[in-house]
Amino acid sequence: MSKQRVCYKCLLRDMGDTDQLRSMEMARARLHAQDMAEDVIYEERLAVCKDCGSLLDGTCLKCGCYVELRAAMKRAQCPDVPRRW
């Protein structure tokens, strides 16, 4: 059995096809359109997360969420510094 590499600064989408990616994508697909952030805002949020020291394997170490799911929600905030995004 091979050991999965720990990926600092990686989003789930950067790590290839994984169970975690599929799980996050299914949850994101269940969001109502009116509750989703615009694509530009979503990508800006993810850029902030990729520069954060609390990102590990696509997960926020501050709250435990998948950052790609939190960033997709219109009313969500950064759990570390809400004004960050």
Element (H, E) at 60: strand 59-60
Q: Per the structure block, which two tokens stand in for 4?
A: 């999965």
pLDDT attached to residue 5: 65
What ranges do the domains of the chain cover? 12-77
Query: 21-64 pLDDT, tens per residue?
Result: 999 999 999 999 999 999 999 999 999 999 999 999 999 999 99
pLDDT value for 50: 94
Burial of 9 (0-12, 13-18, 19+ CB in 10 A): middle
Nearest of 84, 29, 40, 30 to residue 62 by alpha carbon: 84
pTM (predicted TM-score) = 0.87
